Structure 1
Amino acid sequence: MTQLTARPSSTRSVMAVVTVGVLLSGFDLFIVNVALGDIAASIGVSDLADLSWILNAYAITFAALLVPAGRVSDLIGAKNGFLLGLLVFTLASAACAFSPGLGSLVAFRIVQAAGAAMMIPSSLGLVLSSFPPEGRGGAVRLWAGLGGVGAALGPVVGGILVQADWRWIFLVNVPLGLAAAAVGWRVLPDTAGHPGRRPGLVGAVLLTATVATLVLLLVDGSDWGWTSTRTLTVGAIVVAGLALNAYAVVRSADPIVSLSLLRTPHFTSMSLTLLTFHVAFGAMLLALVLWLQDVWDLSALQTGLSIAPGPLLVPFVAVLGGRLVARIGARPVIMLGTGVFAAGVASWALLAGPETSYAGTILPGMLLTGIGVGLIVPPATAVGCSQLPPERHSTGSAVLQTARQVGIAVGVAALVAILAAREPGPEAFVVAWWTTAAFAVLAGVTAMGRSER
């Protein structure tokens, strides 16, 4: 793969273009939530189960296609993969904005998610190939921290844009995406593809279908009933798919996720850490939204503004946390972050109530969770990518991102199950928050081991 020299202007240009792609993708994981009511009124659909597919179709497709899209990016080159994904995402965003009904909107959301799935792993591949080895850790930490900005600004920007028209939440992507593509064509490094042996179509379809079915089960299992025939049938399909994928990893001539990739130092352990932590993260975020809207009766915009302080801290903590990583190693920093995150969530279980103030209860925990995310996700991603061979940069980063998405889906499903099993009210949230804190601590346990700098 072509390596750039460490010219600051070149690396800054690459990070600027990559930042636009990462932020746009992050926006669309969070920005649509606050617009569902306006979309429902506009297209004449009131069934929440039907409307939820505007969110679920994106989440399922994104998670399912990350690894196959990462492998395609490794084959054709990270620059080509990123620009292709960015253009697909941008054009699909325009199509979403002009969708006349629910069916077309969901269909274009699927296309939008496919573009995002191509864009995200290739963006990290570009970062890894553009920076010299000594600068990659900091660049990857910054890249990972950008997701926090998307999480923070998505609900806020969405709440503002829907005041004009819900279609603007998609239209805003178009000028930004086209500008980033034009600049990226000029400044992104011409990373060489690594053709090798192309993975079989059956293996790609099998992996995609398995991840999609798993996320579907986690998203809709609570509505179906965890012991219903449909849930058990889909669960059996997931188990069979996982077994077949494991067989493909071991026996296929060139599987999408190879055994050599899984044996890469630190890769599997950090994938597990990211998976486990994002169970806590997914549960935390949804629980907080439900608390603010259902218990405190805040509007969508007020909820977005209330959540924003934590995620906005993430990129700053990621940069400052790099200094701590250099002193004590990545794994101790990750373990520290899981403790801080758990403390933030536990503070809500201890302090928050129907009549308590935001500044006195939710805000301190929100800041602690933001600090925790900044100390966990960026270094875990950097360590997980640190030993990836150039021909697996995008595929490896896609596996790490898939672990995050599946973890979030598990966390949401777990939270819904906890709240559904108890009488509605603040007490149910207390149980949910303690459970979330426990998962954060468990993520710290998975990070234990030899320290890497």
Structure 2
Amino acid sequence: MKTNKRITIGASLCGFVSGWEATTMFFLFPEIRDVLASGDATNAAWILTITGVVSSSLLLQGGRLGEKYGYQNLYKWGILFFAFTNLCCALSPNLWSLIAFRGLTAVSLAIISPLAAAILVAKATPGSENMALARVGVFVGASGVAGPIIITLLISSFSWRFGYFSQIPIALLAAFLSWENADVPGRNTRRKIDFIDSTLAVFAVGLLVFSLSKADEWGWLSISFLGTIILSLFLTYMFLQRSKISKDPQIPLLLFKRRKYRFTSFLAFTIASVFFSHWLVLLLYLTDIWNFGLIKASILLTVMPGMVVLTSIPTGRAADKYGHFPVILCGITVYTLGFLQFWIFAGEKESLLCLLITVTCAGFGMGTIWQLLSVSASQNVQPDRIGSALAFVNSVQRVGSSFGIALAATLTFSESGQPTVDLYQRGVGFIVVVSFISLILTFGLRDNKEKSVRSTHLDQNF
């Protein structure tokens, strides 16, 4: 197998690794809560919380380190470290050691997530970047289809430990394919890692994600929540002020002078908030209102990642030909209409037709939008800045996902403990409203050169 092909497949497999990781977390949680945490959901929830907080807070550093040491060089070690940390998770003797190892897993995710996309974009020939990342979408969708079924079987047949064991082979395969000394554009050995800037960025993002993950528990108007948010915003302000005077800022502020990058960042937040919250809202609706079993509900929801598999490649091809704006606009329109009809027609009585329309439209939207946002963020950015550009958008997506899940949980919470249709319809309504906002924001992606090329740059010092 040629070196370039090995590298692109190895980087694309990050999509499967990330998708499987996300699937594993939620399906393993109930047994870990019962076995390791003795039924204490609050303590057990840290295996979910720490991953989001640590990975999101370190994404910017992962992108910058990739620029300094080389995207490919750092990625192959990151994916190998991911395999090692999952082995440690599987062998954890108690809950708190598992939480600690989950934190280390999050470190590896902060490295591989932005760098895999950076490798694919940097190695792609001009005009084919969307197709390069579309392959990642196929792997993400495949993991979403296979993950729930395989993980459920592993847990029921063996134990929660095999959920972590299951992630090791694919990670090792990705590491094996990536273990090449290849010329991937984008390395800048003069890139500096400023300790103060890094610390400010880590705590600013980490505190923001942590506060959002605790919003439902603390309360949106509690002193703890508001205080943490204010501290996060203050650290962000300090970080931006230092970036203005830095000759080599962690986030090139010139990026935000580009309308397309600004709107891509806004969309990263809104799209992530609905893409992650719709899993929670639909799963609760199916199990609590329509009384579906967990396995039946999970199988029905796999239509969404199945559609991602089917739509990713055609979407990438269309975006390379026509540009991001019309393709993303089509995707978000279909997504919005799918949930709008569920909001209008779904009731207490189950309706498989209504559900299938929704999950099909949702899957189409996911496959059409998610990967294209990464290409949009890196468009016309010099190779040695792609890591930072993608890492920032990835961070925004993590914040958006935390916000969406937290708000959806709040909207669907019943003080009486009795779920109702009206209560869960509020969660669906949130998805519809934010999707419509995303549709409006999509018009900010229009420009005179929609086709994805990197032939021009706003600033040669970018």
TM, length-normalised to structure 2: 0.90
Partner of 1:62: 55
**Cα distance in structure 2, aligned partners of 1:42 and 1:141:** 39
Correspondent of 2:72 among 64, 69, 79: 79
Q: Does residue 1:17 correspond to 2:4, yes or no?
A: no
**Cα distance in structure 1, aligned partners of 2:121 and 2:358:** 33
Report Cα offsets for 1:359-395 as digits up to 9, x if no partner: 3221221001111122222333222212121101222
Report Cα offsets for 1:243-278 as digits up to 9, x if no partner: 112212212332211213334562222121121111
**Cα distance in structure 2, aligned partners of 1:376 and 1:422:** 36
Verify the 8 A CA contact 2:272 2:397 in the aligned structure 1. Answer: yes
Structure 2 gaps, min length 5? 452-462
**Cα distance in structure 2, aligned partners of 1:172 and 1:197:** 37
C-alpha distance 44-267 of structure 1, shift in aligned 2 (>3 A): closer
C-alpha distance 11-341 of structure 1, shift in aligned 2 (>3 A): farther
The alignment covers a number of residue pairs equal to: 445
Report Cα offsets for 1:190-223 as digits up to 9, x if no partner: 5562122413111111101111110111110121
Q: Does residue 1:435 correspond to 2:430, yes or no?
A: yes
**Cα distance in structure 1, aligned partners of 2:129 and 2:44:** 41
Q: How many angstroms does 1:90 deviate by?
A: 0.7
Question: Matches of residues 320-359 of structure 1 in structure 2 within 5 Å?
Answer: 320-326=314-320, 328-357=322-351, 359=352
Q: Does residue 1:418 correspond to 2:411, yes or no?
A: yes
C-alpha distance 29-399 of structure 1, shift in aligned 2 (>3 A): same
* SS across alignment from 2:78: helix
Q: How many angstroms does 1:294 deviate by?
A: 2.5
Q: Does residue 1:217 correspond to 2:211, yes or no?
A: yes
Question: Matches of residues 19-418 of structure 1 in structure 2 within 5 Å?
Answer: 19-144=12-137, 146-163=139-156, 164-186=158-180, 189=183, 193-263=187-257, 266-326=260-320, 328-357=322-351, 359-418=352-411
C-alpha distance 422-319 of structure 1, shift in aligned 2 (>3 A): farther
Verify the 8 A CA contact 2:331 2:368 in the aligned structure 1. Answer: yes
Q: How many angstroms does 1:49 deviate by?
A: 1.2
Report Cα offsets for 1:382-421 as digits up to 9, x if no partner: 2221212110122211112112111111111221222237
Verify the 8 A CA contact 2:20 2:167 in the aligned structure 1. Answer: no
**Cα distance in structure 2, aligned partners of 1:44 and 1:281:** 29
* SS across alignment from 2:443: coil
Q: How many angstroms does 1:187 deviate by?
A: 7.3
Partner of 1:447: 442
Q: How many angstroms does 1:323 deviate by?
A: 4.2
Task: Return the letter of the residue paired with 1:436.
Answer: I
C-alpha distance 132-372 of structure 1, shift in aligned 2 (>3 A): same
Q: How many angstroms does 1:328 deviate by?
A: 4.3
* SS across alignment from 1:194: coil
**Mean alpha-carbon deviation: is it higher for 275-284 or for 118-127?**
275-284
**Cα distance in structure 1, aligned partners of 2:294 and 2:55:** 24
**Cα distance in structure 2, aligned partners of 1:437 and 1:342:** 6
**Cα distance in structure 1, aligned partners of 2:278 and 2:201:** 28
Task: Return the letter of the residue paired with 1:235.
Answer: I
**Cα distance in structure 2, aligned partners of 1:129 and 1:326:** 15
C-alpha distance 300-55 of structure 1, shift in aligned 2 (>3 A): farther
Verify the 8 A CA contact 1:31 1:157 in the aligned structure 2. Answer: no
Task: Return the letter of the residue paired with 2:303.
Answer: P
Q: How many angstroms does 1:10 deviate by?
A: 4.8
Report Cα offsets for 1:47-105 as digits up to 9, x if no partner: 11111111111111111111111111111001111112111111000000011111001
Partner of 1:3: none
C-alpha distance 19-192 of structure 1, shift in aligned 2 (>3 A): closer
Report Cα offsets for 1:104-150 as digits up to 9, x if no partner: 01100010011011011111121122221132221123334543333
* SS across alignment from 2:180: helix
Q: How many angstroms does 1:181 deviate by?
A: 1.4
**Cα distance in structure 2, aligned partners of 1:448 and 1:297:** 40
Verify the 8 A CA contact 1:265 1:387 in the aligned structure 2. Answer: no
Q: How many angstroms does 1:25 deviate by?
A: 2.0
Partner of 2:455: none
* RMSD, matched Cα: 2.2
C-alpha distance 141-178 of structure 1, shift in aligned 2 (>3 A): closer
**Mean alpha-carbon deviation: is it higher for 68-77 or for 284-293?**
284-293
Verify the 8 A CA contact 2:130 2:317 in the aligned structure 1. Answer: no
* Amino-acid identity (%): 22
